[in-house]
Amino acid sequence: MRRARGLLVFALPLLLAAADASAFGRGEKGTSGAQFLKLAPGARAAAMGEAFSAVADDAFAAYYNPAGLGGLKGVELAGMRNSHFQGIGQNYGVLAVPLLSWVDTRRQRNELGVLAFSVTSLSVDGLERRGVVETDEPDGSFEARDLAYSLAYGVDLGRGLSLGASFKAIDQSLDSARASAAAFDAGALARLGGVSASAGFRNLGSRVKFRSVADPLPFVAYTGAAWEPRKGITLAAEVRAPRDGGINAGLCTELRLHLPGGLSVAGRAGFNSGAMDPGGLSGATLGGGAGFGHLAVDFAWVPCGDLGNAFRYSVRLMF
């Protein structure tokens, strides 16, 4: 009960801030800059409808809920490739290292917390450049590129409670124009038996400014819960309140099987109401994965309505 009350005290001001920013679901889309920060990494979490903040048990916790980093027992190196619609490419890489690492074998490697460094990139090439005067042929082409560098830290405080935070440096370029900003994330995670709860926020920071136009970052507050009714089965849900849109939710289930010889397989299905677009199966998510020894490979299929489909692939190495 004390942990639950502590998490509620942490979560309440975050949710109230988000509700104020989005006017309880009346926030207008397109009113935030650096939209690439909303493209969440990791094929496993994507297949789970991005309802991952209360699960957060691998290196991708650096994005979803940095508090989850505190539970990592060893070094993890992970990367993702997102083949998005319309030729948009997203890449993400993260390295998570327990601060004690192998220095003192008599103590838990994550006793002093876990540090994670990650890089996010989004690029679009071959955009047509046209002048003020309308012409049949373009004047050439240019590219748009977005980058975010993040340093995250999570620590297990004991009794099932973890806290975490991250700092992000953002750099964007559109042809010859450039913009930069800084952002801060924070999260909490409470685990009790097979049940966990989370709360936190992302992208609290300065405005991103292209020449004379400055836009706020896509701030979002979240809270979630996960339940493992039996070993290998996870059910999770998450509610998110963004400043530039209505309150949305994610729901998911994950089934993991451990086979002889050290092989494991997983199947995942979810729903993300924040990704719903007209047409198709948008909002639904599906994926799976396999692991062997220190290696895990995951994939996800994310329908985007009339815009097409997104396919995400990620790899994790655990040492």
DSSP result, 88-142: -EEEEEEEEEESSTTS-TTS-TTTT-EEEEEEEEEEEEEEEE--SS--SS-SEEE
63 occurs within a structural domain: yes
pLDDT at 210 over 90: no
134 occurs within a structural domain: no
67 occurs within a structural domain: yes
150 occurs within a structural domain: yes
Would you call 297 helix, strand, or coil by DSSP?
strand
Report the chain's mean pLDDT, rounded to a whole number.
84
Q: For the whole model, what pTM was predicted?
A: 0.84
CA distance 167 to 153: 9
Measuring CA to CA, how many Å separate 14 from each of 3, 86, 243, 248?
Answer: 17, 35, 12, 16
pLDDT digits (tens, 9 = 90+) for 267-318: 999 999 887 765 566 789 999 999 998 999 999 998 876 666 788 999 999 9
128 occurs within a structural domain: no
**What is the domain range of residue 234?**
2-123+142-318
Question: For the domain that residue 158 is a member of, what is the CATH number?
Answer: 2.40.160.60
pLDDT of residue 110: 79
pLDDT of residue 12: 43
Q: What is the dihedral sign for C-alpha 186, 191, 194, 197?
A: negative
* CB proximity list for 278: less than 8 A, separation 6 or greater: 305, 306
Q: What is the mean pLDDT of residues 75-103?
A: 82
Per DSSP, 262 falls in state G
pLDDT digits (tens, 9 = 90+) for 57-85: 999 999 999 999 999 989 999 999 887 65
Provide the b/e sequence for 286-308 (b: ≥16 CB within 10 Å). Answer: bbbbebeeeebebbbbbbbbebe
pLDDT of residue 156: 94
CA distance 41 to 277: 20
pLDDT at 219 over 80: yes
CA distance 73 to 306: 42
Q: What is the mean pLDDT of residues 204-216?
A: 86
For residues 105 and 25, the model is more confident at: 105
135 occurs within a structural domain: no
298 occurs within a structural domain: yes
Find tokens 């979560």 and name the residue. Answer: 11
pLDDT at 24 over 80: no
pLDDT of residue 305: 66
> With pLDDT > 70 as the criterion, what percentage of the chain qualifies?
78
Q: What is the mean pLDDT of residues 144-164?
A: 94
pLDDT digits (tens, 9 = 90+) for 112-144: 899 999 999 987 765 556 655 566 666 666 577
Cβ-contact 179, 210 below 8 angstroms: yes
* CB proximity list for 15: less than 8 A, separation 6 or greater: 199, 221, 223, 241
> With pLDDT > 90 as the criterion, what percentage of the chain qualifies?
57
pLDDT of residue 211: 75
pLDDT of residue 163: 97
CA distance 274 to 36: 15
CA distance 190 to 196: 5
Report the number of distinct structural domains present in the chain. Answer: 1
133 occurs within a structural domain: no
- Reference 216, options 167, 183, 248, 175; nearest CA is 183
